[in-house]
Amino acid sequence: MIEIRRIKPDEGPAAKRVIYRVAQDIFHDPRSLEESIAYHESRGELKDMDDIQRNYFEKGGIFLVMLDDNHLIGTGAIRQLEDDICELKRLWLLSQYHGKGLGYRMLQELFSFAREKGYKRIWLQTDAVQQSRALEFYRRLGFHEIPRYTDRTDDIAMEMPL
């Protein structure tokens, strides 16, 4: 059975591992999963997840996990950017679960949280080339392109009114 809930304090490493597994597929990383994790960890690419409490819960946000019979299969988070703008972060789902409406379910949970907190708009950034499938998903949901708001030059920024 699929369950979506708040991440528990000890689940950060497992959540990171799911993200790294999905990224390895999407970005066609030829290294082993362990080598890929070591490389990306050395670059601090998911350092916000080292203190989820401080970087999400204490920043007007939430960090959710999706489980299938108690196995972590996906993540999704929101954090505040400005008074009425939040940012969608860390929306990842193991590849074998794609196309089943689960990403949509996770987003609906996140959107509900954002609306309850009073956010009016939600922003995101994603890789425009390697994550073209995610990009199309966001467009179908009503996101539209906006100017980038970070220095990640390969990313496209998007916004959706809540």
Per residue in 23-54, pLDDT tens? 999 888 999 999 999 999 999 989 999 999 99
- Which CATH architecture does the domain made up of 2-119 adopt? 3-Layer(aba) Sandwich (3.40)
Contacts of residue 79, Cβ cutoff 8 Å, sequence gap at least 6: 55, 56, 59, 60, 61, 86, 87, 89
pTM of the model: 0.94
pLDDT at 125: 94
- Please determine, for residue 151, whether its predicted confidence score (pLDDT) is greater than 90: no
Residue extents of the structural domains in the chain:
2-119
| Percent over 70 (pLDDT), the chain | 100
Interatomic CA distance for residues 162 and 142, integer angstroms: 10
pLDDT at 133: 85
Nearest to 14 by CA among 31, 32, 37: 37
